[in-house]
Amino acid sequence: MTYGYVRVSSKDQHTDRQMDAMAAQGIPAKHIYIDRQSGKDFKRPAYQRLMRRLKEGDRLVIKSIDRLGRNYDEILEQWRQITKEKGVDIFVLDMPLLNTSDEEAGITRVFIADLVLQILAYVAQTEREFIRERQKEGIASAKARGVQFGRPKMQIPENFDEIFERIQSKKITAKDAAQILEVDPKTLRKWINLQKNAGKS
């Protein structure tokens, strides 16, 4: 039996191209499993149903390897489960080198597909590490130039001393003060604590 797996990252993305590719392979709609969510892991309802359905000798068709998932460590594990444990062939339309369903090549074909997948996983992992390193270097460089990250701190207003005295003398509540100053109560509490600590020094 041949099955197709289609995935898009969100509900508003279209599956048309992938579905057309499945139709070109002669896969009936009832044998196509569709997920509309991130490929960060394999906790996807349609994929889980597909895994329960796959049996030895079946064939799984996907448009490209990233439709299977984004985490290459997990892709390698799923690939092993599908091809080795379940005995199912995988056919990747956009990368024939990954196909395990060439009967004439037999075990050599599976070996080549596994090898290519391992290389892809290595390249993806290396690229992730490069990106993280570039991000760290960029942040360090920006900080060295005095660039501030995150939201800028709100400046304590000039009339805060007066408001603080009114809070201390219980002429107004902290809630009233926050409304007068048009700030979040948490911000006001920080200002009050700073003022108190300043008075102790």
What CATH class has 2-125?
A: alpha beta
Catalytically annotated residue among 9, 10, 38, 141: 9
pLDDT tier for residue 104 given thresholds of 50, 70 and 90: very low
CA distances from 110 to 39, 84, 184 (A): 24, 10, 61
Question: Which tokens hold the place of 14?
Answer: 């279209």
Higher pLDDT: 112 or 53? It is 53
Cβ contacts of 177 within 8 Å, gap of 6 or more: 163, 166, 167, 188
The answer to whether 24 and 55 are in contact (CB under 8 A) is no
- Single out the residue of 131, 89, 147, 132 nearest to residue 114, CA to CA: 89
**Average of pLDDT values for 108-126?**
72
Side chain identity, residue 8 = V
Domain boundaries, the chain: 2-125, 160-200
Residue 3 has pLDDT above 70, yes or no: yes
Higher pLDDT: 42 or 69? It is 42
Residue 66 belongs to what H/E stretch? helix 65-68
**Average of pLDDT values for 77-100?**
87
Residue 106 has pLDDT above 80, yes or no: no
CA distance 151 to 195: 22
Q: Which of 8-12, 102-106, 140-144 has the highest mean pLDDT?
A: 8-12
Instruction: Give the three-class secondary structure for 33.
Output: strand
pTM of the model: 0.59
The reply to whether 9 belongs to the active site is: yes
pLDDT in tens, 13-45: 899 999 999 999 999 999 999 999 988 889 999
CA distances from 38 to 25, 66, 69 (A): 25, 11, 8
